[in-house]
A and B are shown apart, each in its own frame.
Chain A
Amino acid sequence: METPVSKPILEACGIARTYPLTAEKVEALRGVDVTLAPGELVALVGASGSGKTTLLNLLGCLDRPTAGTVRIQGTEVQDLSERQLTGFRRRAIGFVFQEAYLIPTLTAVENVGLPLSFDPDRIKPSAPAEALSRVGLGEKTRRYPSELSGGERQRVAIARAIVHQPVLILADEPTGNLDSENGRRIFALFRELVSKGDLSALVATHNQELAALTDRRIYLKDGRIVQKGEG
């Protein structure tokens, strides 16, 4: 277990996920413990197939663990109904994926505003433009995804992940399709976002150099945590 400095935002204990895909069950995760304190930027490091995406899906309430508990801001999420989980994701979690998955027919600011389409009353309408400004794209709000570079598109995706003011950002290989310079910029952006202390981020990567830019690293192999590193 980690020893967080304040009340953790995320606590996952002994989580496992088994898929009955073939005659034999596939154990994607086996008893993983993860804790994130407010303002922490943590790297989830592992090779392809090590279970990073599965772990992020479980922590992000997109999937349910076969065993174990996930507590986010004190709420045990594995017991929530689908509807409650959807509402919880809306409020508490922001996702960034390897690909930006922006809607090509919407402008950058509209893409950022997408989460608010499903929860329009909770956040002020100017939040998308403000989120874009926070990721350094305040001048490109009206651009369409096809008019942005790969790095800029990923910044738009990050703005989309923070627009609803979540407490936790889960990023799955967000720099996987970017060059090293853009990759460093994205990690610097995550660092900046968590620096206020009201947000934590768990970023999956297989790039050791980028992982070294985070507060802590969790190494995953064959569905188990094999190593943890700090600093």
Chain B
Amino acid sequence: MPEPATGGKAETGEARGAADRELVRRAQEGDKEAFETLVRKHQGRVFAVAGGILRTREDVEDIAQQVFLKAYFSIKRFDQRAAFSTWLYKITVNECWDLLRKKKVRPLMYEADLNEEQAHAYQSKEDGGEYVPDVSERLEAREQLEQWLECLDEKDRTMLVLKEVQGFTVEEIAGIMGLNGNTVKVRMFRARQRVAERIRRKKRAARV
């Protein structure tokens, strides 16, 4: 998972929050450099969140840009009661859902849209020593994941991906989804039951 840039130092959550608050305050006064720093700090996670929900890399990029544009033009109205990151990820999730609703498709996979150049990039990464699964392998793996997640609705899927793939805490997910922490836990429990059942069924079928 891409971590936000922290300028080389390991920042604590509190220090990061304070730094964000200051940057937001400056951005609210029209400081573009402050906003640019916010973009640089949070783009990794915005990409990761959108990537967990959307199908193609192009969609992820477009939505990420849209999210930051929206944030730029509405930052004056952001009252800093919640963390800037929570506000931003909330915008991200909503933008992704809007796009999915417009497209009326289930999120599938973005490797499917890899062009030749990108496929080569993956291959050369592999040649460089770092193990990167073959594009078709990744494609297959992702397809499998999508089949497992197919049984969940948009919200449950997003929650599970935010938690298991992007490492968000229950509290953060509750903030992003506008839900109570306990509701998130219960929905996650039920979502896990359904996905685990699918995984088991698939494994049983593979054995037979």
Q: A and B: real partners?
A: no
Interface residues of B, Cβ cutoff 8 Å to A: none
